[in-house]
Amino acid sequence: MMAVQLISIRTVVTKAARFVPTSGVYPKGFKVGGIHCGVKKDGSSLDLAMLSNTHSEPAVASAVFTKNKFKAAPVQVSSRIVKEKNGQDINSLIINSGNANAVTGAKGIKDAESMISVTDSVLGNKSADSTLVMSTGVIGNLLPIENILNGIPKLSTQLGDSHEHWLACAKAICTTDTFPKLVSKRFSINGTEYTLAGLAKGAGMICPNMATLLGFFVTDAPVTSKALKQILTYSTDRSFNSISVDGDMSTNDTIVAIANGAAGGKLIDNTSESAESFALLQKEITSFAQTLAQLVVRDGEGATKFITIKIKDALTYKDAKIIASSIANSALVKTAMYGKDANWGRILCSIGYADVKSPDSVNPSKTCVSFIPSDGSKKLDLLVDGEPQAVDEVRASEILAFEDLNVEIDLGTGGGQGCEFWTCDFSHEYVTINGDYRS
């Protein structure tokens, strides 16, 4: 009883302490900041974030957006810009939280465009549409645009590259998040040291297989927009598109990657000539994006568990993703995990209704399900080749008491493909948070 209570207190009280860094390494030639400008009603929470490329050369950008048919105004405007400029000469970001500027008609588009033009102006960006815009929050209300447009010049004078500036920026894009999500790291390619830094907001409306939330990351590595686009697609597929909180996909989901080349070195393209450095950069960005995406799951609305679903020996990578996503989105699996219940029947069930096409994708008599304890102790087999195992319930309870749960599914198809997918549990708190979000 005591042990359970201790774990629970640790989960609730110290998520921020455990997952928010107290220092960081930040890429050259970028300044960021966050202020309260008057979107959030409490009068003090940060609600406006900005990033500016201060390097002498223009930066390149790539972005992935929600596939929802009701695209918010900032999504419509930013995707137009990335397309029109082919990812070239994009040097700043302006982001507000507290209002999604979604389903706001022609005025919403105008507001998003004015956020861009004012930002371009105060930052002295040389070409038009040098800024991408994002918004997150409640749907269907017009932005308090005066407050935002007054905030932009103010914010532009407060940018910096310290850890505190980055943390303020990360806080300013949060909504129901319980902690800001900020990650940074160094890596080397061909002896040159580069830096990656990024932030995200999540909490609810997180769904796999789409651009799934608001976030951006920047690097001082030199890379072409074409190569960056390819890397972003690959890494998003294995990070932000491999997570799920509640299976809902928002009207605003956007992930942006920006690179300014300020750290020097040879330009990385997607040609065969720079294949090695391209692969290195892709590997670094993918693992970085996974870390950031996993923080979104850690802070899933009401989440008490961080669940890794590992699919092995699927027929195809696509099959592995579909099956992982089906498990990760099952309300019954997620409530069982919340209740620390080793109900593998629900896991199996959700594998069984996954929308895979081939009759060979799932073979009930070859399917294995195990729990992998997060303390490194021996795994617990629940189902081996379709046969239920005598489960030691005490051992199962020990494993399920951990905050981090690992479920391994071996499909035994001989296809040898696999994937990892991250999700959280479904708790009373999720219902409380979402039962009355707007008020």
The number of angstroms, rounded, from the C-alpha of 2 to the middle of its chain's C-alpha atoms is 34
> What is the SS3 assignment for 345?
helix
Question: Which listed range, 111-119, 138-146, 262-270, 406-414, lies at the site for a copy of itself (CB under 8 A)?
Answer: 138-146
From CA 405, how far away is CA 385, in angstroms rounded? 22
Q: Rule CB under 8 A: is residue 398 a binding residue for a copy of itself?
A: no
The one among 5, 43, 191, 438 contacting a copy of itself by CB under 8 A: 438
Name the residue nearer to a copy of itself (CB basis): 65 or 187. 65
Q: Which is nearer to a copy of itself, 92 or 104 (CB)?
A: 104
Q: What minimum distance in Å lies between the beta carbon of 74 and a copy of itself? A: 15
350 is in an annotated binding site: no
38 makes contact with a copy of itself (CB under 8 A): no
Q: Is the dihedral angle over the CA atoms 430, 431, 434, 436 positive or is it negative?
A: negative
Cross-strand pairs, 136 = 97, 99
Nearer to a copy of itself, 17 or 142 (CB): 142
Q: Is 271 in the site for a copy of itself (CB under 8 A)?
A: no
Ranges assigned E (strand) in 265-386: 306-314, 368-372, 380-384
Site for a copy of itself in 405-434 (CB under 8 A): 426-428, 430-432, 434
Tokens of 274: 């720079």
284 vs 136: CA distance, rounded Å: 28
Identified binder of a copy of itself from the candidate list 21, 24, 386, 415, rule CB under 8 A: 386
3-class SS at 346? helix
Q: Applying CB under 8 A, does 144 fall inside the site for a copy of itself?
A: no
DSSP character string of 53-107 = E-SSSPPEEEEEE---SS--HHHHHHHHHHHHTTT-S--EEEEEEEE---S-HHH
In angstroms, the CA 173 to CA 329 distance is 25
Q: Would you say 413 is a known binding-site residue?
A: no
Q: Which residue stretch of 15-23, 24-32, 247-255, 405-413 sits at the interface with a copy of itself (rule: CB under 8 A)?
A: 247-255
Of the chain, the end-to-end C-alpha distance in Å amounts to: 36
67 is in an annotated binding site: no
Closer of 140 and 153 to a copy of itself (Cβ): 140
Pick between residue 131 and residue 250 the one whose CB is nearest to a copy of itself.
250
Among 332, 395, 398, 402, contact with a copy of itself (rule: CB under 8 A): 332
> Annotated catalytic sites, by residue?
212
Is position 201 annotated in a ligand binding site?
yes
Sign of CA dihedral 274, 277, 283, 287: negative
Strands, E, within 328-372: which ranges? 368-372
Kindly calculate the radius of gyration of the chain based on its CA atoms and give it in whole angstroms: 22
From 28, 362, 419, 75, select the one nearest 244 (Cα to Cα): 419
Residues 158-197 that bind a copy of itself (CB under 8 A): none
Task: Candidates 62, 130, 274, 350: give the one binding a copy of itself (CB under 8 A).
Answer: 350
Q: How far is the CB of 70 from a copy of itself (least distance, A)?
A: 4
Alpha-carbon separation of residue 356 from 215, 291, 324, 353 (angstroms)? 30, 28, 11, 8
**Which region among 124-132, 152-160, 327-335, 407-415 touches a copy of itself (by CB under 8 A)?**
327-335
Q: Which residues bind a copy of itself (CB under 8 A)?
A: 67-71, 100, 102-105, 138-141, 204-205, 207, 210, 246-251, 329-332, 335-336, 338-341, 343-346, 348-353, 362, 364, 383, 386-388, 426-428, 430-432, 434-439
Annotated binding residues for substrate:
175, 201, 212, 301, 434, 439
